[in-house]
């Protein structure tokens, strides 16, 4: 390595962002893409319409309907991370990630 070039210090990136008014750092929050889609009223309506249609077509009785919740490994979530954005985007924290592509 050239003697004039030194290894960047850990604070180099922070110092760069602090010198630039148009840049801003913040922590993103984890938000699952599928969950974001499922907050859409149209998607919710379509889901329940499909479920109702299947119940009707197959003659399923209410006492034969069960809800099984599966809690486990959270695939498809972005972990919280520090991100650099344009200052004009201040306030847009959610980062959406598509489902797991494995």
Domain ranges in the chain?
A: 32-64+74-87
Contact 75, 100 (CB under 8 A): yes
Mean pLDDT lowest among 49-53, 85-89, 98-102 = 98-102
Residue 92 pLDDT: 53
Residue 102 pLDDT: 45
Mean pLDDT within 7-24: 83
Structure token digits, residue 102: 């494995």
Cα–Cα distance for residue pair 34/40, rounded to 1 Å? 10
**CA distances to 3, 53, 62, 80 from 50, in Å:** 68, 5, 16, 35
Q: Which of 23, 18, 21 is nearest to 86 (CA)?
A: 23
Q: What is the pLDDT of residues 65-90, one digit of tens each?
A: 876 555 444 445 556 666 777 777 65
């Amino acid at each position: 390595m050239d003697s004039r070039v030194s290894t960047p210090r850990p604070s180099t990136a922070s110092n760069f962002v602090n010198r630039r008014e148009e840049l801003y750092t913040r922590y993103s929050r984890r938000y699952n893409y599928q969950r974001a889609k499922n907050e859409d009223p149209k998607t919710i309506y379509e889901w329940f319409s499909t479920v109702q249609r299947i119940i009707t077509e197959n003659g399923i009785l209410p006492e034969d309907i069960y809800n099984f919740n599966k809690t486990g490994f959270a695939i498809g979530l972005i972990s919280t991370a520090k991100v650099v954005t344009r200052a004009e985007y201040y306030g847009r924290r959610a980062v959406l990630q598509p489902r797991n592509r494995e």
